[in-house]
Structure 1
């Protein structure tokens, strides 16, 4: 049975991998494992060891703590695991939101800043 923490850590790894535009194959090559193992990590089917998490964090250019962000409490984890729901407030579990953020960061910085200012003005107007 999948442990909710393993599912969360795997989900965060998948989100980050997707955000940087890396395939499972590419991540597997960077950390020295097959892409099938990356798949199992990302679904929470297999638990990521501390040393492997260290390697994955380095390959994805994030601190280890990144993978644990958003973990609230044992009660929330258990409820999410039982209902197969995404954690409350987990915007990045939505593929469209991930795609939007990824596209946003691919825009040159000066234009991105102007787009951000426009979005802020539009949200204030709504």
Structure 2
């Protein structure tokens, strides 16, 4: 839960173009503390969550939507948040969104091909070992 909430904070912060330092200043904590919240290393208290949501110009519930229900959609949301924590993922997504649709389609096909080739190579190596 701490990881999912931290990821939601990070996504919202980056979406509005705010740095960790700026968020930290508005919340009265160090930017290292914001890093710990975003990585799920430290639990965010409710009072701190209220401060963070005000600084991010959103409602507390906007950040906590990842916890609504335990259905498949929520699991997929949590999985997406985990993927978005991968270094470079948000930068890649931001750049991807700026590409023309035909270039996006070509890029997706290229990544699928590379992924399939990597999986085949890994399977071949596992069979040899």
Same fold per superposition (TM over 0.5) = yes
> What is the rounded CA distance, in whole Å, between the counterparts of 1:74 and 1:45 in structure 2?
25
- One of 14, 26, 34 as aligned partner of 2:22: 26
Aligned alpha-carbon RMSD (Å): 3.4
Residue 49 of structure 2 is matched in structure 1 by 53
Select the structure that is richer in helix: 2
Q: How many residues align?
A: 95
> What is the rounded CA distance, in whole Å, between the counterparts of 1:54 and 1:92 in structure 2?
25
In the alignment, is residue 62 of structure 1 matched against residue 58 of structure 2? yes
Q: Which has the higher contact order (CA 8 A, sep 6+)?
A: 1
Residue segments in structure 1 that go unaligned for 5+ positions in a row: 104-117, 120-126
**Normalising by the residue count of structure 1, what TM-score does the alignment of the two structures yield?**
0.60
- Cα gap change, 1:65 to 1:99, in 2 (>3 Å): farther
- Cα gap change, 1:90 to 1:33, in 2 (>3 Å): closer
- Cα gap change, 1:36 to 1:73, in 2 (>3 Å): same
- Contact (CA 8 Å) 1:12, 1:67: kept in 2 or not? yes
- Contact (CA 8 Å) 2:8, 2:81: kept in 1 or not? no
- Structure whose CA Rg is larger: 2
1:66-105 residue pairs with structure 2 within 5 A?
66-71=62-67, 72-73=69-70, 87-88=78-79, 90=81, 93=84, 94-95=89-90, 96-98=92-94
In the alignment, is residue 36 of structure 1 matched against residue 38 of structure 2? no
Residue segments in structure 2 that go unaligned for 5+ positions in a row: 102-129
Deviation of 1:24 (Å)? 0.5
**Normalising by the residue count of structure 2, what TM-score does the alignment of the two structures yield?**
0.59
Any runs of at least 4 consecutive aligned residues in structure 1 with deviations exceeding 6 A, and if so which? 74-77
- One of 4, 20, 25 as aligned partner of 1:8: 4
